[in-house]
Each structure stands twice: as C-alpha cells, then as structure tokens.
Amino acid sequence: MLKIEHIGIAVKELKASIALFEQLLNTPCYKTEAVVSEGVNTAFFQTGDSKIELLEATNETSPISKFIVKKGEGIHHIAFEVENIEAEMKRLSALGFELLNEIPKNGADNKLVCFLHPKGTNGVLVELCQEKKL
C-alpha cells in the first residue's frame, strides 16, 4: 500500500464540523461531495500528503447513521491508497480478509474503493482506494 490516503471521521452535522476542522487544521475545506449510493455527504481537507474526510449521513439507513448510533462521532475508517485495487483485493481475499464489496465501487474524490470487514482487522474499518484513471 502506498500511503494513508485519508482518515474518515463520522460527524453529526457536516456544516458545523467543517468550520471546526478549518480552525483545527488551519486550512480550508477544498471539496464537498455527496455520495448518494452510500447515503453520505463528505468534506475534504488536505493535511500534507494525506487528507481528512468528514462524513455526514443523509438518511437513517446510511452506514454513517448506524455508526453514530452505535459508537458516536469519531474515527470511522482509515483509507490506504493502492496502485491497483483489483490486485490488492485479490491478494487480501486470498489471505482470508473479508471484503465488504466484491468489485471496486465509486467513492468520493474520484476514487475506486473497497472496504474490509473490521472484524478481521482488529476493529478498524479499512478502505482501499485507487485514483480513477481518466
């Protein structure tokens, strides 16, 4: 894996959290994006080589609503950038890691993504992401 691409943080109210993180990181939010298929609104901040992704649920069945009900706001996932997501999914699946999606899906910020089940990764929801090639 190439690097930590971003850390995803579940928040209740995106607008308030954008203002908070702009102050905390001393950098403006450079992008907001809705991912309708996941029921989330996202906001991104650049921090050096990595990013912070804030996630707000847009409906009650969103994975982010379920997470907040269970655990409250906080770190939701860690995303690793990979060069070839399909090869990496194959490699991890062969090692016994449970993939939450069988084929890469469209994520925010021009990425193909795949999540690993946290029960096989010490409770950490891991996202693999690969920049979509134009």
Contacting residues toward Zn ion, per CB under 5 A: 8, 53, 79, 127
Look-up of token digits 């990013």: 51
Nearest approach in angstroms of CB 95 to Zn ion is 22
Tokens of 55: 């996630």
In the bound state with Zn ion, the residue whose beta carbon lies nearer, of 103 and 127, is 127
Q: How many residues does the chain have?
A: 134
Q: How far is the CB of 127 from Zn ion (least distance, A)?
A: 5
Residue nearest to Zn ion (CB): 8
Q: How far is CA 93 from CA 90, 97, 134, in A?
A: 5, 5, 27
Shortest Å distance, C-beta 113 to Zn ion: 7
DSSP three-state, residue 128: strand
- Rounded distance between C-alpha atoms, residue 115 and residue 2, angstroms: 16
39: its two tokens: 């029921």
List 107's β-bridge partners, or say none.
111
Nearer Cβ to Zn ion, position 56 or 127?
A: 127
Q: Decide whether 96 or 109 has the Cβ nearer to Zn ion.
A: 109
- The residue (of 69 and 75) whose beta carbon lies closer to Zn ion is 75
CB of 48 to Zn ion, least distance (A): 17
